[in-house]
Structure 1
Amino acid sequence: MSKLFSSLLIALALTACKQTQVGKDLASQNTASQNTAIVYNALEDFPDLTSGGAPYYKDTNNQALGIDARVHEYRRLYARATRTFDGVSGHYNIEITAMTEEDGEPTYRLLINNKVVSTYRATYIGKGHAQDLKPETFTWQHVSLRKGDILGIESIPNTNGEIPEHGGTAWARGRWQQLKLTPSAQASNARPVFNFEHDLLLSQFDFQPDADDLHAVAALGSLLDDPSMRNLNVLAVAGTVGIQGGKYRTPNSLMNLAFGEENVNWLDAKKDWQAAVELVEKRVAKVLERGGVVWVQEAGQSDFSQDWIKALIKAGVAESVIKQQVVIVQHSGWNEQKTSPAALAYVKAKADYRAIGDGNKLKRKYIRKDRRGDVTPKYVAEGVKWLKAATSASNNKKLSRQLWQHAQQLVAESGFNAANSVIPQGGIDFSDMVEVWWILQLENKANSAHAFWQRYVTDVEVDKIAPPKGRLAVVIDGNSPDPDDIGATPVMFGLLSKAGLNERLVHLSHSCDLDPFKNKGRQQIDTPGELRRQAVLHELSGQGIELFGPFKNLRNYYNCRTDQQAATQDLVDAINASSASDPLWIIEAGEPDLIGYALQAANPAVRKHVNVISHHPANDNTGDFFTWQQILDFGVTEHQIGDQNVGLQTPISHWDWAKHHPAAGITYIWHWLDYAERDGMVDFQTNKFDCSDAGMVYWWITGANNGGNNHATAEDMKDMLTL
């Protein structure tokens, strides 16, 4: 054992005598009674009112915090109030008392440790309503809180444009009066939130037999180099193998590059298992003593975790503390199978064990059968473009470039050539990193290999404007219960315009749910609502064509409910013009019936030159007159690109940049996303902006079936819309 390693163990061992009492104290704290509600007064109990983009002021007349919307620059900024949570760790229902205002409907955001965990928008009341400046409550359910967490509320001014004032309109000031925290009576599997000040990320890699851990380490090192992660407390361990056989891929030089000094920032369990166990036990105990949580990225088997948990208990740390404050995250069923059965059972019993979705598989929110746990991204991608962009001399992320160059070198030197891996063919597999994605709640920031790559690995653009040959037809519904097409259609116009592809659009129709009252979903649309939707879709289509046009090959735009024959004939004409050199690509952003009628009436000889793009069975399987199989039986080419809601149904805040943008087309997009969120016909779009159907257009623009990005995010939309 090295002198450095020995000295570290000796120094850390000096704290061991404290651990038995620490364990008892923490256990007592975490099993304390949670029957009493906690009330935090906005005016008195939040010491920090200035850490947001705008400051809060104390509106003593209304006993509330508010934002001075007379200051124009504050109108587009969130104010923030924070305090330390001093209650007992547990799960709480958090009730905010806001104030309804006739001038507008502000958005409120709940933050824990400076991370937005949920949002709420105030109810519309309108001019002269008796509820103006009256309390309104909203409850965020089953929120996990630990003593010492930073609890925060943000709000932003809003105007509904209905009340004239000083040459403009009056603005609601985002007022709120208090938070009431009530222990949740319902059993909850809600996860805590990573605390950068107190918590530890413990990343454990096996490196046997696959080379994917080499890619995972390069990815983690790239993430750690991002400015937002500089304060992350990390300890990495190599060689945490289980009962599997196969070749060990020696990672030491890569570990040094990614994490720093061996035996300080990372440990070699392959070389000295017991010494690594002892040092991990000491580091973990110190974190638990401070009330922190240890989050284990189990990028291998759990035999090693079993051993250091046993060491913790032997040192006197209470088992209840370990159960509440050690979170082991595992994405792989194979890793579980290669853990000794006794070790797996032990860590599941002693720690907070979280099985999440497999990072090797595509994430689809609507597939629930045999789900391991929370759905995750797929951090595996074929093709050489990824490593080419990462290792390019043009990549200004220097450390990331070096990490991926070295990872490539180690893969080559190890002779890894598994047939079931994308790595030997030049692809990327950092699937173990979905555990870090879950732990740090990266969510839409990195919800695909593509999104992770562009945010953390390289500033060399991976997406290219490279559409396939041919023309584009867009068929949307919007008159079904889900209002998402109201937000998606304007984004589609903007994408085509910015990509210089307006002349490719040859058909646009909306309200393609030909019998919207047959909808089998839990939430239905009524007759007045459906008529309103038709009018809204026609209005925004005309506006979009005007703002982003000209679309010189678009004959007209059609309401399928009022002009089905003309809409069908226009699509028939587009189909009949198709050939091998000029195929037609149909965006199926709604029920398939209009497409079915058009294919049925079209020239059978040209149907083979038609491509139909879909992203969700909610469209494919809801036709009233054609099944999806009947559509395919016409001989078209099907492209299922995966659920675009994953990256494009986002919190409202992801589009804050567009709300007051100087370009009229961008504010038009924000307006209709906002309208769709407030539509009120369904509850699953509340506090979300959804342009998911536009993901099909983005995929087509960036290459379609020749490398198009089928994991687009709101950030990707922003990048293209602001070209």
Structure 2
Amino acid sequence: MPIKKSAIWFALGFVLSACATPVPSSEDAAVSADTDTCASAEMIGRFNPQKDLFLAQFDIKTDTDDLHSAAAVATMLAHPRFACVSYAAVSGTYGMQGGAYVDPETLFENAFGDNWVDAHNRKVAAASELAARAGPVLANGGHVWIMEGGQSDVSAETLRQILAASAAAEMASRFHVVQHSDWNEQVTTPEDLAFVQQTADYIKIADGNVVGNGTPGFQTSDVTAWAALLAAEGVGAVWQQTKDLALRHNGSGRTAEDIAIGGYNNQAIGAGGLDFSDASEMAYIFGYESLADVDAFVETFVR
């Protein structure tokens, strides 16, 4: 289970959590080298690993593409270039939409360890945890980058809490919300969408389901890429788990169980293909927006 005591994350240690932390003297030299590396890490696209925070947020209601997107995010974070990226994943960041929520607890534990927050049915509490992580980053001059793989209800609550605890309203300009989906906007609670659009740095990019629109097209009915993903070192088991979970919960309506689940029928996933379109937002944040499609993703982060 993810830790849910927000006070823990006020510590500076979280901000540098992706880098090494002090250990006994026999390993001090190696740890110091790792820490120094993170302290001088170069920009990755728009993200500064020295002081920024990445939040990968997923509604997981009611389209199972979020499950594929979580595996894609874990794959990018496992790449050596991302070794010093401070991050947290967030599940259950949904807005007004109906349909079933798919519980990703085991998947998220395997993909992100303890480094995730559960917002399902606990928006305000989850936002408090995120504010405890993001507030010190902003106070120290860093930026918070949100991959909005869902609606902006939780982002809005997080930013409200940050601003309520600080007199520095300018921090909101370094709270970046990246959204690729018109539908996600349509089912965000209107006052929350208006708040993030007017207060944060709200960045709308082209639809990540489509190839050739300036944003990676991370959706395909083609099954070819699965072989490489399932064999990927370190994350192959995560891809297997996300594949099984998404197929089980994809709302095809073909069986009584599907109908009871009430999920959206993602045709690409139903055909055995892939849909991690939300990860197009992560690609934008980290400077990989020129990737064309799923095959380009595999070539860059897996092979």
Could you state the TM-score of these two structures normalised by the residue count of structure 2? 0.81
Could you tell me how far apart the structure 1 residues matched to 2:10 and 2:85 are?
24
Partner of 2:90: 237
Alignment CA distance shift 1:195-1:13 (3 Å)? closer
Q: Find the residue that maps to 1:240 and give its secondary structure.
A: coil
TM score, norm. by length of structure 1? 0.35
Alignment of 1:503-652 (within 5 A): none
Cα distance in 1, alignment partners of residues 101 and 171 from structure 2: 34
The code of the aligned residue for 2:201 comes to D
Q: 1:208 maps to what in 2?
A: 61
State the structure with more CA Rg. 1
CA contact (8 A) 2:250 2:269 kept: no
Describe the shift of the 1:231–1:355 C-alpha distance in structure 2 as closer, same or farther (beyond 3 A).
same
Q: Distance in 2 between matches of 1:221 and 1:12?
A: 21
Specify whether residues 282 and 387 from structure 1 end up closer, same or farther in structure 2 by C-alpha distance, changes over 3 A only: same
Indicate conservation of the 8 Å contact 1:204/1:297, yes or no: yes
Q: Which residue of 1 aligns with 2:301?
A: 456
1:381 to 220, 224, 248: 220
Pair 1:309 & 2:159 matched: yes
Q: Distance in 2 between matches of 1:284 and 1:428?
A: 32
Do residues 226 (structure 1) and 65 (structure 2) align? no
> Which amino acid is the alignment partner of residue 155 of structure 2?
S
5+ residue gaps in structure 2?
13-39, 253-263
Q: Which residue, out of 7, 20, 29, partners 1:10?
A: 7
Match of 2:246 among 405, 411, 426: 411
Q: Deviations over 1:126-173 (max 9, x none)?
A: xxxxxxxxxxxxxxxxxxxxxxxxxxxxxxxxxxxxxxxxxxxxxxxx
1:201–1:235 CA contact under 8 A, matched in 2: yes
Mark the CA change 1:398 to 1:200 in structure 2 (over 3 Å): closer, same or farther. Answer: same
Larger helix share, 1 or 2 = 2
| Alpha-carbon distance in structure 2 between the residues aligned to 1:345 and 1:400 | 37
Residue 232 of structure 1: CA displacement? 1.0
Report matched runs for 1:25-174 at 5 Å.
113=42
- Among 232, 236, 250, the alignment partner of 1:401 is 236
Correspondence for 1:441: 287
Question: How far is the alpha carbon of 1:378 from its aligned partner?
Answer: 0.7
Note the C-alpha offset of 1:413. Answer: 3.0
Equivalent residue, structure 2, for 1:279: 129
Count of residues in correspondence between the two structures: 265
> In 2, Cα distance between the equivalents of 1:284 and 1:433?
21
Describe the SS at the equivalent of 1:237: strand
* CA positional deviation for 1:258: 1.2
Q: By how many angstroms is 1:208 displaced?
A: 0.4
Paired with 1:14 and 1:214, the residues of 2 have a C-alpha distance of 30
* AA aligned opposite 1:335: N
Does 1 or 2 have the higher relative contact order (CA < 8 Å, sep 6+)?
2
Distance 1:114 1:328, change over 3 A: closer
Asked if 1:344 corresponds to 2:193, the answer is yes
The residue that corresponds to 1:422 in the other structure is 268
Alpha-carbon RMSD: 2.3
- Deviation for aligned residue 1:4: 5.1
Partner of 1:383, secondary structure, is coil
Q: 1:275 to 1:442 in 2, by over 3 A?
A: same
Residue identity in the other structure for 1:297 = M
Q: Which amino acid aligns with 1:378?
A: G
Q: Distance in 2 between matches of 1:207 and 1:353?
A: 21
* 1:439–1:317 CA distance, 2 compared to 1 (3 A): farther
Percent identical among aligned pairs is 35
| Cα shift readout 1:51-83 (whole Å, capped 9, x = no counterpart) | xxxxxxxxxxxxxxxxxxxxxxxxxxxxxxxxx
**Local SS of the residue matching 1:385:** coil
Q: Secondary structure at the match of 1:253?
A: helix
Q: 1:317-332 counterparts in 2 under 5 A?
A: 317-322=167-172, 324-332=173-181
- Whether the 8 Å contact between 1:236 and 1:266 is mirrored in structure 2 is yes
Whole-angstrom CA distance in 2 between matches of 1:443 and 1:3: 31
The gaps in structure 1 that reach 5 residues or longer are 16-83, 85-111, 118-192, 365-374, 460-723
2-side partners of 1:453 and 1:230: how far apart? 19
8 A Cα contact 1:422 1:429, kept in partner:
yes
CA shift in 2, pair 1:420/1:414, >3 Å: closer
